[in-house]
Amino acid sequence: MVGPILIFDSGIGGLSVFEHIHSRLPNHDIYYLFDNARLPYGDLEEQELIRGCVALIVNQVEKIKASVVVVACNSASTLVLPELRNQLSIPVVGVVPAIKPAAQISKTRHIGLLATPGTVTRQYTQDLINSFAGDCEVTLIGSSELVLIAETKAKKQDINLDQIAQILSPINDSNIDTLVLGCTHFPLLQQEIKRALTHPVQLLDSGDAIATRVMSLIKDNDIAKGKLKAGFTKGIDEGLKMTLADYGFTQLECITVAN
């Protein structure tokens, strides 16, 4: 029996990645782990982010005997992958903002990166831009507000579309034709983002590429549908429980890690 895939994020963003993985590996058990006690990650100090993520993930991998870890969070992937790989003997898959495919398709040679304040300022992101989008103008927009709007939507509460339009105004005021959603929360706001944009812009995320990578590491089981379970670090409200159930997560647990 192969252990579950552990998908990790600070909040509900990793569900956008889960959808891609689950549609390709429907018979595989998946454990969705999110660190809502420390959200948003985009504002956390780097060492604090690394320490907390590594302790939480390693502890849960051992507990559930996971076979693969997917760090479905750009803000964490830009920092924690080396230490996680150091401590774990199973494959660890990270997320990379889709800068390379964006640069390949942009006609105006002006692309946008919408991510968290942490991701847009990291060297990791700058290196990606230098390597793959050197001939493009790249506009960086870092927003934790948008992360919190996605969380509000996931709680089935009303969100403010004007606030989204305001965050996206640098894109509307430019000739950007391709926008990288470099935070896994943002594909969950895809429709609202499209509505707020005033000219045609292609949106790109990394969900499908991650699912392809995971599939190269494990085969689907040929038994009945995979079991889904979610764990989080702080109690959640009814709206979020309903959203998790919409994705198939009805088995839920609140977990704590001793420091």
Q: Report, as residue numbers or ranges, the catalytic residues.
A: 73, 183
| Distance in Å, CB of 217 to ligand DGL, minimum | 21
In whole angstroms, the minimum distance from the beta carbon of 77 to ligand DGL comes to 8
Q: Which residue is nearest to ligand DGL (CB)?
A: 13
- Contact characters 167-186, ligand DGL, x per CB under 6 A: ----------------xxx-
- CA distances in angstroms from 219 to 8, 95, 133, 145, 149, listed in the order given: 20, 20, 34, 38, 35
**Which stretch of DSSP H or E encloses residue 45?**
none
Which of 125, 144, 178, 206 forms a contact with ligand DGL (CB under 6 A)?
144
* Residue 106 in contact with ligand DGL, rule: CB under 6 A: no
Strand order in the sheet with 202-204: 137-142, 110-115, 178-181, 202-204
Stretch that binds ligand DGL, among 45-53, 70-78, 155-163, 243-251 (CB under 6 A): 70-78
Question: Amino acid letter at 97?
Answer: P
Q: What is the number of alpha carbons within 13 Å of residue 92 lying toward its C-beta?
A: 19
- Per-residue binding string, ligand DGL, 110-139, x by CB under 6 A, is ------x--x--------------------
Alpha helices by DSSP H, listed for the chain, are 15-24, 46-64, 74-87, 99-105, 117-121, 123-132, 145-154, 161-167, 169-172, 190-196, 207-217, 238-246
Question: Per CB under 6 A, which region of 37-45, 81-89, 126-134, 212-220 contacts ligand DGL?
Answer: 37-45
CB-nearer residue toward ligand DGL: 13 or 231: 13
Check binding of 42 to ligand DGL (CB under 6 A): yes
Query: How far is the C-alpha of 57 from the C-alpha of 204, rounded, in Å?
Result: 27
